[in-house]
Amino acid sequence: MVTINDSAYTHRKIIKVACALIEDDLRNILVAQRSSKMSLPLKWEFPGGKVEENETVESTIIREIYEELNLQITIIEQLPSFIHHYEDFSITLIPFICQIEQGAIKLVEHKAFCWASPDNLLDLDLAAADIPVALYYLNTLKK
């Protein structure tokens, strides 16, 4: 897990969030744009959501992707977790590389989606917590 050693954040509750880097056959990644009504409006993100009590992170990401995008996915690999501190809250972001098993994308909460190539992923206005995940993913592709 990657974190920032900043004593200003030590007493803050940290929310566990699972996210999916859903790859297609060309290694493009599915990213979703938050709606204008959501926190962090219109930012792009790797879709996912909060881990509920008594739920594994694996079951969270499968549930969230089905609820948000109408997709059934398979988890390929879990990546390292990252802690990010926003002004009002902190999250531990737990990313998974996934593939679509079945379903057609249907946006339930998000405004839009796109398939970003590895070369263009960082050109999107990503939510701050997603940037270290994107950088880690892109660095692992180059190895």
Q: What is the pLDDT of residue 142?
A: 73
Over the stretch 45-58, which tens digit does the pLDDT of each residue have?
999 999 999 999 99
Nearest of 135, 136, 134 to residue 29 by alpha carbon? 134
> Is the overall model pTM greater than 0.85, yes or no?
yes
- pLDDT: is 40 or 143 the higher one? 40
Per-residue pLDDT band for 88 (boundaries 50, 70, 90) equals: confident
15-141 CATH, one of 3.30.360.10, 3.40.50.300, 3.30.9.10, 3.90.79.10:
3.90.79.10
Nearest of 117, 124, 21 to residue 65 by alpha carbon? 21
Round to whole Å and give the CA distance between 143 and 138: 9
R_g (Cα) of the chain, nearest Å: 14
Q: What is the pLDDT of residue 10?
A: 54
Spatial contact of 18 and 49, defined as CB atoms under 8 Å apart:
yes
Round to whole Å and give the CA distance between 40 and 86: 10
